[in-house]
Amino acid sequence: MGNAFFVVWRESLEAFLIAGILFAWLQANDDTGKGKRALFGGLAAGVGLALLLGWALLGVQDELTGEALETFQTATLFVAAGLITQMVLWMRKHGRQMKARLHADLAAARERSGFLGVAVVAALAVAREGAETVIFLYGLAQGGEISALVVGSLTGFAAAGATAWLAAKSLARLNIALLLRLSSILLLILASALLMTALDRLIGAGSLPPLLDPVWDSSLLLDDTTTGGKLLADFSGYRARPALSSLLAWLGYWGVVLVAWRKTRHG
């Protein structure tokens, strides 16, 4: 539930901020009201596209069984981990220019295609966030209860709306930039946890040799099968008895992320 809450909160907050930026531009540049109606239509279309992706994922899953289903779900975990990492690093490099980019895209779209262009820009911007959320949640669903996932998603969406509203109304001293930076680090930790889950599946299926299993046993300190240990394992990828191949992949992931993080520092 906690992971779903956090992922949906972060992605929905970005979507709310994007919608707010586009609305503010139209407020200053469109006196007819047609642009705002196109914006709302585009936002709805973006949500619809994300839901369509979710339906497609479930449809593919229903058609698969046995080893094929296991392969598909494992691949989804890798894709979700990769998308989270790519999104965080992209936002770190381009986040400061996001407002200017959206304004430029909106102005160009309206110039070329009128208010249909406004709707398309809004739809694509929100669909990107929504599609990422769908894939992340599908990955999280491989290791959690669906009911907890639904509750976490709904509360995360509501919390994102409240966060964006409070920031817009200046009713709370929310430093959105700081919140996004801190959440970026937490998202990378979550991505590493999804990576570990995918690697566990590969080792369990015999597709990846463990090399040495286990490298150590810290279950006396914190067992990852207990309530507290499982929560930590689900969020951070902690393993009380890690296989060497998983540990090397985890270290490799963080090595790549740290190098990329430093390269995007001045983006």
SS (H, E, C) 109-150: HHHHHCHHHHHHHHHHHHHHHHHHHHHHHHHHHCCCCHHHHH
pLDDT score of 216: 94
CB within 8 Å of 242: residues ≥ 6 apart: 214, 215, 216, 250
Q: How many residues does the chain have?
A: 267
**CA dist., res. 108 & res. 113, Å (int):** 9
Residue 174 near residue 166 (C-beta atoms within 8 A):
yes
**CA dist., res. 176 & res. 133, Å (int):** 20
Task: Kindly state the tokens that stand for 59.
Answer: 């449809």
Q: Which residues of 95-110 are buried (b: 16+ CB within 10 A; e: fewer)?
A: beebbeebbebbeebb
pLDDT score of 87: 82
pTM of the model: 0.77
SS3 184: helix
Tell me 237's DSSP state.
Answer: -
Taking the CA atoms of 79, 85, 89 and 92 in sequence, report the sign of the dihedral they define.
positive
Task: Kindly state the tokens that stand for 9.
Answer: 């909160």
CA angle 136, 138, 142 (to 5 degrees): 115
Tell me 170's DSSP state.
Answer: T
pLDDT tens, residue order, the chain (267 aa): 667 787 888 888 878 877 887 787 777 777 777 778 888 888 889 889 888 988 888 888 888 888 888 888 899 889 989 988 988 888 787 666 666 777 777 777 777 767 777 788 788 878 877 888 888 888 777 766 677 778 888 898 888 888 877 776 655 556 667 777 888 888 899 899 999 999 999 999 899 999 998 999 998 888 988 878 887 888 888 899 999 999 999 999 999 999 998 887 644
pLDDT score of 143: 63
pLDDT score of 212: 92
Q: Residue 73 CA to chain centroid, in angstroms?
A: 17
pLDDT score of 192: 92
CB within 8 Å of 180: residues ≥ 6 apart: 10, 13, 14, 91, 95
Domain residues for 238?
2-263
Domain count, the chain: 1
CB within 8 Å of 245: residues ≥ 6 apart: 199, 203, 208, 209, 210, 211
SS3 217: coil
pLDDT score of 227: 79
From residue 5, give the alpha-carbon distance in Å to each of 105, 123, 133, 175, 259.
31, 23, 11, 20, 29
Task: Kindly state the tokens that stand for 192.
Answer: 């590493």
Q: Give the H or E element holding residue 252.
A: helix 244-263
pLDDT score of 175: 67
